[in-house]
Amino acid sequence: MTTRTSDTGQPGLPQARLLVVVAVEPEAEAVLRGLGDDARPPSVPLPGGVLHRARRAGTGIDVLAAGVGPAAAAAGAATALALHRYDLVVPAGIAGGFAPYAPVGSVVVADAIVAADLGAETPEGFADVTALGFGTVRHTPPPAAVLATAGALRAAGLAVATGAVLTVSTVTGSAGRAAELAARHPGAAAEAMEGFGVAEAAARHGLPALEVRTVSNAVGPRDRSAWRIGEALAALAGAFAALPYPELLKEVPRG
């Protein structure tokens, strides 16, 4: 049996109200660097990943590295959410950007978190699970939180796009697949592999999700030489340095 705590269980550390979920440690380090909290307590190993504990302006922020892909992300987020109380969950990390909206190095704040390959192929084309009569393929972050975040990041001089962030289980590697996704999701800004899993876990705990991504590569034909992971991690640190937190929580509906 697990006990859900309303505090951090660590003396002197404020309650964490924001859970940031990334895939891998370099992303967690970038987020923590952006938050500027060097003197942080030891990280906590969880069944679903490693939970890093930070703080800002008297409130706590937990950063969980949960692994790559929607299943690992959902499992990790669900573990953290079962153990601690949060107000907002933020899937974050690097992503592929759709041209022309999200060039390499830019930030994307998702106005929709969409499971883009959760469904079935039919003679008429792809049918998502909602069309098939099961569940949902879309979570909508609180619009006021999207606006506040995008506005603060722009004010800090970052290049920011808002649009759908697609969650895929297979990284796009061809122009054909990129065109198919763009046609199915007009205006989509980015694709990554975890957001929908995290948002599903959050929704089951009655919490909203706000996805923040920085672009390491273009969605399209595979070209490993064109990845700019260092640039995207630097942008991720910049985005979390400028995150309007804890003010952002005012824009989040409370359950």
Ligand X SMILES: O=C(O)c1cccc(C(=O)CC[C@H]2O[C@@H](n3cnc4c(=O)[nH]cnc43)[C@H](O)[C@@H]2O)c1
Residues that bind ligand X (CB under 6 A): 23, 68, 93-96, 168, 171-173, 191-194, 216-217, 219, 222
Preceding omega of 100 cis (within 30 degrees of 0): yes
CB of 87 to ligand X, least distance (A): 24
Between 115 and 148, whose beta carbon lies closer to ligand X? 115
Q: Where are the alpha helices (DSSP H) in 135-174?
A: 143-155
CB of 194 to ligand X, least distance (A): 5
Between 197 and 238, whose beta carbon lies closer to ligand X? 197
CA–CA distance, 87 with 128 (Å, rounded to integer):
29
Of the candidates 156, 159, 115, the residue with the CA atom closest to the CA atom of residue 138: 115
CB of 59 to ligand X, least distance (A): 27
Whether the Cβ atoms of residue 112 and residue 140 lie closer than 8 Å to each other: yes
- Coil/strand/helix, residue 15: coil
CB burial of 52-79 (b: ≥16 within 10 Å; e: otherwise) equals: bbbbbeebbbbbbbbbebbebbbbbbbb
CB of 196 to ligand X, least distance (A): 11
Between 192 and 235, whose beta carbon lies closer to ligand X? 192
CB of 92 to ligand X, least distance (A): 10
Q: Which two tokens stand for residue 68?
A: 């790559």
Q: Spell out the residues 6+ positions from residue 100 whose beta carbon is closer than 8 angstroms to its own.
A: none
Between 87 and 191, whose beta carbon lies closer to ligand X? 191
Q: What values do phi and psi take at 199, rounded to 5?
A: -65, -35
CA–CA distance, 237 with 225 (Å, rounded to integer):
23
CB of 171 to ligand X, least distance (A): 4
- Coil/strand/helix, residue 60: strand
Taking CB atoms, the residue at the shortest distance from ligand X is 96
Between 148 and 219, whose beta carbon lies closer to ligand X? 219
Between 132 and 171, whose beta carbon lies closer to ligand X? 171
CB of 4 to ligand X, least distance (A): 27
C-alpha distance from residue 202 to each of 61, 192, 199 (Å) = 16, 18, 5
Between 149 and 217, whose beta carbon lies closer to ligand X? 217
The single-letter code of the amino acid at 28 is A
